[in-house]
């Protein structure tokens, strides 16, 4: 059975938070929890999907290996976020691999548990569709960034997502290493370093794994500029 901490995180996740309590308890009772070391594989591209995963603690990346051997990071998930919904119900092959970015804990929900929940309460399907839509929206946003923003602008938006306030100055901790941040933003590590340097005029200073942002609104304005203007200022 889950601990109180595990139960709280799971119940507040996007996937499960709108489930009726009785259904949540059933799903939790059919689920399992496992810890992973940094670099450990959760599943590999091509394996048959039989479960949905929710991150309890730490970070998990989804990625694919390109024909040239390079790694393409598809997404990174943090505490309370789920992944694998779209393929689990149909028993399809995973289109990506999953790996622990940091030491982490992951909840594994068998697809049969969610299917049973849907039989008991058809409205459960709405929550599952909503969770899948969030993932799709995230991928669309990434594609939009790649097409319409410069590298420094993508980095600026990434930093803004880490801010817990809308204005003023703040300091944020980079959640994972710079190599992974570069992959997440569709950049090479050396391009990420150049982008951090180009953000200095926008009031950003990087100190190891921390970013000091002098003016959040100023950085947001930079991220929303016309790309040509952003490059000119860089």
Per-position pLDDT tens, the chain of length 234: 789 999 999 999 888 988 899 999 999 999 999 999 999 999 999 999 999 999 999 999 999 988 888 788 888 898 998 998 888 878 889 999 999 999 999 999 999 999 999 899 988 888 777 777 676 666 666 666 666 688 899 899 899 988 989 999 999 988 888 888 888 888 888 999 999 999 999 999 999 889 999 999 999 999 888 665 555 555
Other C-beta atoms closer than 10 Å to the C-beta of 229 total: 11
pLDDT on residue 89: 79
**How far apart (Å, rounded) are the C-alpha atoms in residues 100 and 54?**
13
pLDDT on residue 185: 85
**How far apart (Å, rounded) are the C-alpha atoms in residues 117 and 13?**
16
pLDDT on residue 72: 84
What does pTM read for this prediction?
A: 0.76
pLDDT on residue 144: 65
pLDDT on residue 156: 93
Place of tokens 């996007």: 14
**How far apart (Å, rounded) are the C-alpha atoms in residues 225 and 150?**
10
Give burial (CB, 10 Å; 0-12/13-18/19+) of 120: exposed
pLDDT on residue 24: 92
pLDDT on residue 142: 65
pLDDT on residue 68: 83
């Amino acid at each position: 059975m889950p601990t109180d901490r595990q139960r709280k995180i799971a119940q507040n996740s996007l996937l499960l938070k709108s489930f009726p309590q009785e259904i949540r308890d059933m799903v939790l009772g059919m689920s399992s929890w496992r810890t992973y070391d940094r670099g450990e594989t959760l599943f590999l591209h091509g394996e048959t999907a039989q479960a949905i995963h929710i991150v309890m603690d730490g970070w998990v990346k989804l990625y694919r290996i390109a024909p040239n051997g390079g790694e393409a990071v598809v997404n990174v998930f943090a505490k309370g976020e789920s992944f694998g919904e779209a393929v689990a119900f149909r028993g399809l092959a995973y289109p990506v691999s999953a790996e622990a970015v940091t030491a982490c804990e992951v909840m594994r929900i068998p697809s049969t548990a969610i299917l049973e929940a849907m039989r008991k309460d058809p409205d459960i399907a709405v929550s599952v569709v909503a969770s899948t839509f969030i993932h799709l929206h995230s991928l669309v946003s990434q594609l939009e960034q790649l097409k319409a923003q410069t590298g420094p602008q993508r980095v600026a938006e990434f930093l803004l997502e880490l801010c817990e306030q809308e204005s003023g100055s703040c300091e944020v901790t980079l959640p994972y290493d710079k190599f992974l941040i570069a992959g997440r933003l569709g950049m090479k590590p050396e391009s990420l370093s150049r982008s951090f340097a180009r953000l200095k005029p926008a009031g950003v200073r990087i100190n190891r794994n921390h970013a000091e942002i002098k003016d959040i609104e100023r950085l947001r304005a930079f991220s929303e500029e016309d790309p040509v203007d952003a490059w000119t200022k860089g």
